[in-house]
Amino acid sequence: MSITLTQSAADRVQSFLTNRGKGVGLRLGVKTSGCSGMAYVLEFADDINDDDNVFEDKNVKIIVDKKSLVYIDGTELDFVKEGLNEGFKFNNPNVHNECGCGESFNV
């Protein structure tokens, strides 16, 4: 089981954490939402819960709750810039379908 980051994503997360001035890492999860069933949740974590899974890649801690890990195990998080748009991209090998807007998925 693992979650990984590209160097671009790791640099961006470290920059956000530095500017924020606090935090232990990045919390990654899923919630029921969108037209395909599930959506990613990405937020900065100030705490690590006893039941969290913690992965470390490129000096960034990635914190995932046990329920979400089933859906995102093996995911690589990237940070991409496309024209004027920039954001995190999830390369999740478990995804079977995504909605047209790219905001939700199902496994």
Bridge-based pairing of strands 4-5 and 25-33 is unpaired
pLDDT given for residue 35 in this prediction? 63
pLDDT given for residue 96 in this prediction? 65
Decide: 29 and 64 in contact? Cβ < 8 Å: yes
Q: How far apart are the first and last CA of the chain?
A: 17
pLDDT average, residue stretch 94-107? 62
Helices (H) and strands (E) in the chain, counts: 2, 9
Higher pLDDT, 88 or 106: 88
| Residues 42, 47, 48, 52, CA torsion sign | negative
- Whole-angstrom Cα distance, residue 16 to residue 10? 10
Q: Is the pLDDT of residue 99 over 80?
A: no
> Hey, is 49 helix, strand or coil?
coil
pLDDT given for residue 66 in this prediction? 93
Residues 32-85: tens digit of each pLDDT: 876 657 888 999 999 999 999 999 999 999 999 999 999 899 999 999 998 888
